[in-house]
Structure 1
Amino acid sequence: MTITAPKWLTGLSLALAAALPVQADQAEDIQKIITSLAPVQQESTAPAQEAARGVQIGGRTVWVVPQHSIDLQVFFALDSYELTWRAREDLAALGHALASSALRPHRYLIAGHTDTTGDDAYNLWLSERRAESVARFLVENFPIDPQRLVAVGFGETRLKTPGNPTDAINRRVEVTLLLPARPEANAPAAAPTAPPPVESVEPVAPPEQPLPGTLQKDKDGNITITW
């Protein structure tokens, strides 16, 4: 698993569900993910207000905190959004981290990215299906509320290595902290002098019939699983 994360802090308790055993070689990866994605705590133990960026998805704006983000290289079969066995193994650490007490109160954007191989419209569609596959795997295999995860595809619009657009590192899943941290919270707290940039993401047209075993989002962003 490839993780892009700042130097991780010590002292955060994993507090993982007892029903989900953690392999010894996963502990360090889980702790790194927790530290990268957890909001900075103030002395009052409340999350500190950090710089957020608005991203418009399907007619609504969600607020992401880029400082708390990781990139995961998730392996899919060619032209497929089905997770490989290796992808499932790599995503286990993320599932444990999101189920931990440190991250459980918070919501996250699950963003799919592709390289530039193939048609851009197809890449956009495929990246969203892959993000949904990751979110579905997490909620089906770990005690994670589906409302905590918002899946979106960016296709080839946010390359990790623009100088090498077909590199495998561009085919990744990005996990980013969303504000508000809790559904009832207001975010961001204070309006800046100039409004923060809002990035538009064109909604991806679904197939004519819902694909079996995929996540579906309604206009309010609610996620349901179709079988």
Structure 2
Amino acid sequence: MTRFQNSLSKAITLKAVTLGAALSMTAGLALAADNTVSADQILHALQPKPLTRSLSVGPQADPAASAKEISFVKTLRNRATRSLSLGEREQIAEIAATKPKIDLEIQFDYNSASISRNSTLAVQELGKALSNPNLRGSTFVVAGHTDGVGSDSFNQDLSERRADTIKRYLIEKYGIAGSDLVTVGYGKTKLKDTENPNDPINRRVQVVNMDTKTAQQ
């Protein structure tokens, strides 16, 4: 093989490797995008559900209970995450159990409250959803959860800081009113998979629409 042919062969091989790497990267990005929950999906999950007749006689139909719930949610607005007591955090979780909600796999840098580059799209989709006029005026809880690795105090602090990071992002990038966003951290106290506490599925951000209104059917 001549020197020219050898050089040409090397150039073709290098070009093929470069193209293969580019295609692999593109495929990875496409896969990441496919796994991201869209703004429409988030919007659908957070919109108040129709109240049917069969559901109209439950605890939520109690005017006193509803008034108490509304009053409590109002006290949460403009509150700092760290100002919430353990009892208040549990009360938020109790109310949230009956509200429209969605778990988002928003990842952060290791032992950090900085949003991972791979999760930027997920937070952007959340921002688009919360900007939708159909959700205007609602109060949203942004709850941070960690996995079971580490101490209780470390994970509690980390979950609070991560929830605050999401709130700041939504305020700065999408103009969401800070008073409409209530942040709370649960650390590792409310694992999604209790049998596998160290599973990454436990590291998540849950968003809950605390609005007391129901959609018209």
The interval holding the TM-score normalised by the smaller chain is 0.5 to 0.7
**2:35 corresponds to 1:34:** no
Aligned with 2:100: secondary structure?
strand
Contact 1:69 1:175 in 2 (8 A): yes
Q: Matches of residues 134-153 of structure 1 in structure 2 within 5 Å?
A: 134-153=166-185
Q: Which residue matches 1:159?
A: 191
Which residue type is aligned with residue 87 of structure 1?
Answer: S
Q: Please tell me whether residue 171 in structure 1 is matched to residue 203 in structure 2.
A: yes
* Residue aligning to 1:75: 107
- 5+ unaligned residues in a row in structure 2: which ranges? 1-32, 53-57, 61-65, 77-83
1:89 Cα deviation after fit: 1.6
Farther off after superposition, 28-37 or 50-59: 50-59
Displacement of 1:88 after TM fit? Answer: 1.8
1:106 Cα deviation from its structure 2 partner:
0.8
Aligned counterpart, 1:88: 120
The separation in 2 between residues aligned to 1:102 and 1:50, in whole angstroms, is: 26
Q: Which has the higher strand share?
A: 1
- The DSSP-based 3-state class of the residue aligned with 1:116 is coil
- In structure 2, the CA distance between the partners of 1:86 and 1:28, relative to structure 1 (3 Å rule), is closer
Point out the structure with the larger helix share. Answer: 2
1:111 paired with 2:143, answer: yes
Q: Could you say if the C-alpha distance between residues 119 and 79 of structure 1 is closer, same or farther in structure 2, counting changes exceeding 3 Å?
A: same
In structure 1, runs of 5+ residues without a counterpart are 1-23, 44-48, 182-227
Provide the C-alpha distance between the structure 2 equivalents of 1:50 and 1:30, rounded to a whole number of angstroms.
Answer: 31
Query: How does 1:141-220 map onto structure 2 within 5 Å?
Result: 141-180=173-212
Determine which structure has greater relative contact order: mean sequence separation of CA pairs < 8 Å that are 6+ residues apart, divided by chain length. Answer: 2
C-alpha contact (below 8 Å) 2:141/2:182 kept by paired residues: yes
Partner residue, 2:30: none
Deviation for aligned residue 1:50: 8.4
Residues paired across the two proteins, number: 153
Instruction: Give deviations 1:17-61, integer Å, cap 9, x for gaps.
Output: xxxxxxx98998111111110112569xxxxx9858889943755
TM-score norm. by structure 1 comes to 0.59
Normalising to structure 2: TM-score of the pair?
A: 0.62
Paired residue secondary structure (1:102): helix
Q: Return closer, same or farther for 1:145/1:65 CA change in 2, 3 Å cut-off.
A: farther
